[in-house]
């Protein structure tokens, strides 16, 4: 299985009559996880489909400074910085409105019978909302000195099904230099101000896949290969990673 990358610069937005474009990112990459990019004109609104059998996570990357508002049955959330939202499955509707031209990514992950059994025991309280600044920092030996890592969804009882999520930020010769992890697939969304490169693989040059990344880009790293996401001098690593456990235990 190879890495795959979506380049925002190579995509021409085609709005519908409501001023919204929705399309699947890297379709066919994985049979249980799908990602969709929404691009919205200022003033447009969407009320997304509610999923009964899947966990859903939104990544609002504050790409190009876009601002929005999300309303659910509990409150109104300002989407004016990097932030994250997970709805309460099919139980509560919500609406997203673009204040300025605005984009974000929706991740939809199938939940099998084992995932539901675990959720029935202990699960994240939903709906869930966090800004980047509200997410706890952690340290990891694969990150260069000065790199800021934050957890969004992490650990046995702070996840959505088999989804976990976090953020990495570094500047001026910094970022992630990581050995492959066979237990999780990884998707990355380049956030506000991002401008870095990503290598996937190891060994000889012909065995390494190289990708230049800027804000709005999306990519997939399959479980297993080494990967580096790195900012040269004057550049910035800023991405959200979403990981999905490869161990399917249920039906």
Per residue in 13-56, pLDDT tens?
Answer: 999 999 999 999 999 999 999 999 999 999 999 999 999 999 99
* Alpha helices by DSSP H, 22-171: 113-121
CB 2 within 8 A of CB 199: no
Residue 213: count other Cβ atoms within 10 Å of its Cβ: 26
CB 127 within 8 A of CB 87: yes
What is d(CA 129, CA 83) in angstroms, rounded to the nearest whole number?
Answer: 7
Q: Which residue has the tokens 């601002």?
A: 67
Ranges under pLDDT 50 in the chain:
none
Residue 154: the pLDDT is 81
CB 126 within 8 A of CB 86: yes
Residues 6+ apart with CB under 8 A from 96: 38, 40, 45, 46, 47, 48, 68, 69, 70, 79, 104
Residues 6+ apart with CB under 8 A from 183: 223, 245, 246, 247
Helix, strand or coil for residue 117?
helix
φ/ψ (deg, to 5) at 151: -95, 135
Helices and strands (DSSP H and E) totals, the chain: 1, 21
Residue 1: the pLDDT is 59
CA separation, residue 146 to residues 52, 127, 173, 195 (Å): 41, 32, 10, 17
Residue 121: the pLDDT is 80
Model pTM?
0.96
Residue 131: the pLDDT is 98
Residue 157: the pLDDT is 57
């Amino acid at each position: 299985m190879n890495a795959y990358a979506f380049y925002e610069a190579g995509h021409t937005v085609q709005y519908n009559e409501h001023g919204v474009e929705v399309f699947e990112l890297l379709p066919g990459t994985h049979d249980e996880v799908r990602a969709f990019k929404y691009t919205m004109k200022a003033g447009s609104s969407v009320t997304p489909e509610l999923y009964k059998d899947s966990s859903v996570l939104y990544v609002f990357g504050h790409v190009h400074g876009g601002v929005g508002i999300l309303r659910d049955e509990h409150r109104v959330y300002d989407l004016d910085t990097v932030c994250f939202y997970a709805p309460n499955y099919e139980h509560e509707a919500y609406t997203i409105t673009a204040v300025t031209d605005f984009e974000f990514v929706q991740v939809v992950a199938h939940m099998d019978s084992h995932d539901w059994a675990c959720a029935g025991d202990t699960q994240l309280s939903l709906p869930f909302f966090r800004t980047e600044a509200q997410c706890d920092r952690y340290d990891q030996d694969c990150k260069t000195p000065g790199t800021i890592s934050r957890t969004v969804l992490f650990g046995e009882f702070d996840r959505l099904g088999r989804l976990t999520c976090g953020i990495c930020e570094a500047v001026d010769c910094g970022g992630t230099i990581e050995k492959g992890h066979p237990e999780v697939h990884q998707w990355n969304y380049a956030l506000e101000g991002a401008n870095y490169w990503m290598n996937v693989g190891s060994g000889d040059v012909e065995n390494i896949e190289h990708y230049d990344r800027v804000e709005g880009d999306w990519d997939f790293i399959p479980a297993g290969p080494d990967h580096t996401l790195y900012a040269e001098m004057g550049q910035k690593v800023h991405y959200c990673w979403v990981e999905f456990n490869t161990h399917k235990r249920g039906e």
